[in-house]
């Protein structure tokens, strides 16, 4: 199977590039984006348009309702199924992301299914984290799996809980990996100023495109604001604006700021992947890189 991964921060032009490449080669696109899996959240997550999706088949988009909690393990299964499906038809798969953990889960052989989980155990640990503090859980973790304890920040409650959940269930925190998917990896790394501008423009376009209406529909269904889907960029700000708490300009600025901060975190994820070949899309057309004969 032939897999080409196109990674980079939000608004760097990944999707457009993938679309061009896939259209030309008759390939298909696998999204590695943790928010585009939610149905009904189209504008706010900058999903490819219906026309684009008609032009090139897309996978791993619109998988679940926003009321559902999707996660990396499910993505790994769905993504692998998509890759297998595309390969079975002899097509090239373009993985586009996005979400660092999802890209790794799909391409780098992370053993997510092998790591157990138990909602009750986790809920109990979360309760303890709130009452006793993350540091207390971290001490427990250190007793069960000292090496793993060193890898987590004792102040990061969410990660400590997951590690302790793993240690409790499996006796230790699993670290093994299996062979990943061989894929040519291209990273888009445009100048910061250019990216910031694009992000601002994109957020403004979302308003024109109807994010407010989209948010209204989501709010009406009474979604729990703590759901992962609701943490998608902008939705809290759009909702606050709909309630009359903040002006539109303030909501736009706040959203753009969130996206900018996120795009920086995305880069820290991708920068450490030595297999990625970086391109500045404002300097050369990344398509030329994609069309070199795959190794």
Q: Which residues bind RNA (CB under 7 A)?
A: 33-36, 44-46, 69-74, 98-102, 104, 110-113, 115-117, 126, 151, 153, 155-159, 161-162, 166, 174-177, 192, 228, 231-234, 257-262, 264-269, 271-272
Cβ proximity to RNA, 7 vs 82, nearer residue? 7
Q: Is 28 helix (H, G, I), strand (E, B) or coil?
A: strand
Cβ proximity to RNA, 91 vs 174, nearer residue? 174
Q: How far apart are CA 289 and CA 295, in angstroms?
A: 12
Q: Is the peptide bond before 278 cis (omega within 30 degrees of 0)?
A: no
Cβ proximity to RNA, 17 vs 92, nearer residue? 17
Cβ proximity to RNA, 92 vs 279, nearer residue? 279
Measured from the Cβ of residue 216, the count of other Cβ atoms closer than 10 Å reads 13
Smallest distance, Å, CB 115 to RNA?
A: 4
Smallest distance, Å, CB 285 to RNA?
A: 24
Measured from the Cβ of residue 2, the count of other Cβ atoms closer than 10 Å reads 16
For residue 111, what are the CA distances in angstroms to 83, 108, 194, 275?
17, 9, 37, 20
Q: What would the two tokens of residue 290 be?
A: 């994609």
Cβ proximity to RNA, 89 vs 272, nearer residue? 272
Cβ proximity to RNA, 28 vs 258, nearer residue? 258
Smallest distance, Å, CB 175 to RNA?
A: 5
Q: Is 287 exposed, middle or buried (0-12, 13-18, 19+ CB in 10 A)?
A: middle
Smallest distance, Å, CB 196 to RNA?
A: 7
Q: Is 210 exposed, middle or buried (0-12, 13-18, 19+ CB in 10 A)?
A: middle
Smallest distance, Å, CB 75 to RNA?
A: 7
Ramachandran class of 153: left when φ > 0, alpha when ψ lies in -120 to 50, beta otherwise: beta
DSSP state, 189?
-
Smallest distance, Å, CB 231 to RNA?
A: 4
């Amino acid at each position: 199977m032939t897999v080409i991964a196109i990674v980079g921060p939000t608004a760097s032009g990944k999707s457009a590039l993938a679309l061009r490449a896939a259209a030309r080669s008759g390939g298909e696109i696998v999204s590695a984006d943790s928010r585009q899996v939610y149905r009904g959240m189209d504008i706010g997550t900058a999903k490819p348009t219906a026309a684009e999706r008609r032009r090139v088949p897309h996978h791993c988009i619109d998988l679940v309702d926003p009321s559902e909690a999707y996660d990396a393990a499910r993505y790994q299964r769905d993504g692998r199924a998509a890759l297998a499906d595309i390969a079975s038809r002899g097509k090239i798969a373009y993985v586009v992301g996005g979400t660092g953990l999802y890209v790794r889960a799909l391409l780098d052989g992370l053993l997510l299914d092998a790591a157990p989980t138990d909602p009750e155990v986790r809920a109990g640990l979360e309760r303890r984290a709130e009452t006793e503090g993350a540091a207390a859980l971290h001490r427990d973790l250190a007793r069960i799996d000292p090496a793993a304890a060193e890898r987590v920040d004792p102040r990061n409650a969410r990660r400590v809980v997951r590690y302790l959940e793993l240690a409790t269930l499996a006796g230790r925190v699993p670290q093994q990996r299996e062979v990943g998917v061989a894929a040519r990896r291209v990273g888009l790394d445009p100048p910061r100023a250019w990216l910031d501008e694009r992000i601002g423009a994109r957020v403004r376009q979302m308003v024109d495109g109807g994010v407010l209406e989209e948010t209204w529909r989501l709010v009406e269904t009474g979604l729990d604001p703590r759901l992962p889907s609701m943490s998608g960029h902008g939705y809290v700000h759009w909702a606050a604006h709909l309630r009359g708490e903040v002006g539109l300009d303030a909501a736009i600025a706040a959203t753009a700021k969130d996206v900018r901060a996120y795009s920086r975190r995305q880069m820290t994820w991708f920068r450490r992947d030595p297999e990625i070949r970086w391109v500045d899309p404002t300097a050369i057309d990344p398509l030329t890189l994609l069309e070199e004969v795959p190794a």
